[in-house]
Amino acid sequence: MTDKLDFMREELQALQDEKRFINIRTMDSAADGWMVVDGRRVLNFCTNNYLGLANHPALKDAAKRAIDEWGVGPAAVRTIAGTQALHIAFERRMAEFKGVEASMLVQSGFCANQAAIAPLVGRDRATGMQDVIFSDRLNHASIIDGARLSGAKIVVFEHRDAEDLERQIVENLPKYRRGLMITDGVFSMDGDVAPLDKLYAVAERYGVMTMVDDAHGEGVLGRGKGIVHHFGLQGQFDVEIGTLSKAFGVMGGVIAGKQVVIDYIRQKARPNLFSSAITPADTAACIASVDYIEAHPELVDRLWENAEYFKAGIQRLGIDTGVTETPIVPVMLGDVKLAKAFSAKLFEYGVFAMALGFPTVPEGKARIRVMNTAAHTREDLDLGLATFEKVARELGVI
């Protein structure tokens, strides 16, 4: 008799045979430029800790003070008894930082996309009329999932292509009740940047709502304030999605924009209505992080200096770094087995940089994704580059 779980065993075996099985390493120390991973001290090029704040004393002190004053958990959803004064203080501070009318704190960046999309578009229960989402082909999984959960029609436009966005709007918008354009700001696998000014102009021309996920742009672009500031569009985009788990170094998600939009989403967002509020320690650390980033713009400068130095070093080796425009540096290797072997060799020599293959990236586009941070010194980068060169020569990449 066939075991009902055999399909799992078969698929897991196939993943292992195809070298696509994810072996999860264990972090034995705080996120920083150097970490202890699986018991070994290694140079870290894996985390999204862009500004090196995940282990910063100012953030840790804020979290400790919040625990003493507020306890360890809010013990309720935001709409019942979980909204603490700390949450309100963070939302006001983040709105000020982003130059928008209002912001809303949720549990994660992934949750933020699920929280924001469904209230804005879907299907009208009374009339059956459907809305339409115009989504960049390479948008993050959290956008894709949020769009699917909304029940709206999803129309994909070609990656970073404002002309194709306009074609899709002209062809499809008249068939639906209302439209929403969604794009990532910085695309996390390739490090390229959405042409936000062009996409915004097209969407506004046709009365389509606008939304950008700035997860990898906050703390990086726009002098640290994100991609909307980078393009001078602050206060104009209808919805900005952010995460506090990358450059801010903590945890949580942000929905920011016009007051009416945030008020509307707050009433309808399911993560806000049905999941407990974020902890006092996280919230206080997030406030401290925003304050620290604004007071220390040199962190952003150091991040970019490090990224440009490392990228130039990889390119001098004759290795393709793809289309990146940001501190995300993909070391393009193509074959997933080669990328996995490359990552394993790096770790053997004391450098932590993970391989990414299908389905995270397209077939034939496997890579080592290097996440540069302000926590790295020039000596760290030189060591990293020397190790990449050593492995590349051993494996015949160069």
Domain definitions of the chain by residue range: 6-30+297-394, 57-295
Catalytic residue among 103, 150, 188, 343: 188
Fold of 57-295: Aspartate Aminotransferase; domain 2 (3.40.640)
pTM surpassing 0.85? yes
- pLDDT of amino acid 21: 84
Catalytic residue among 56, 140, 216, 340: 216
Question: Do residues 137 and 159 lie in contact, with contact meaning Cβ atoms separated by under 8 Å?
Answer: yes
d(CA 178, CA 151) in angstroms, rounded, equals 13
- pLDDT of amino acid 1: 67
Could you give the maximum distance between any two Cα atoms of the chain, in Å? 66
Q: Which tokens is 80 given?
A: 């019942």
Fold of 6-30+297-394: Aspartate Aminotransferase, domain 1 (3.90.1150)
Question: Do residues 77 and 224 lie in contact, with contact meaning Cβ atoms separated by under 8 Å?
Answer: no
Catalytic residue among 56, 229, 230, 246: 246
* CA nearest neighbour of 27 among 19, 18, 37: 37
Structural element, H or E, at residue 6: helix 6-17
- pLDDT of amino acid 125: 85
Q: How many CA atoms lie within 13 A of 42 on its CB side?
A: 27
* CA nearest neighbour of 51 among 281, 227, 296: 296
* CA nearest neighbour of 372 among 309, 315, 298: 309
d(CA 244, CA 289) in angstroms, rounded, equals 9
d(CA 391, CA 398) in angstroms, rounded, equals 9
pLDDT means per 10 residues, the chain with 398 residues, are 90 88 92 97 97 98 98 95 97 97 97 96 90 97 96 97 98 97 97 98 98 97 96 94 97 97 96 95 98 97 98 97 97 94 97 91 93 97 98 96
DSSP 113-169: HHHHHHHHSSB-TTT--B-EEEEETT--HHHHHHHHHHT-EEEEE-TT-HHHHHHHH
Annotated active-site residue 108? The verdict is no
Annotated active-site residue 246? The verdict is yes
- pLDDT of amino acid 26: 95
Do 6-30+297-394 and 57-295 share a fold?
Answer: no
d(CA 192, CA 195) in angstroms, rounded, equals 10
Buried b (16+ CB within 10 A) or exposed e, 193-205: bbbbebbbebbee
* CA nearest neighbour of 369 among 210, 189, 219, 245: 189
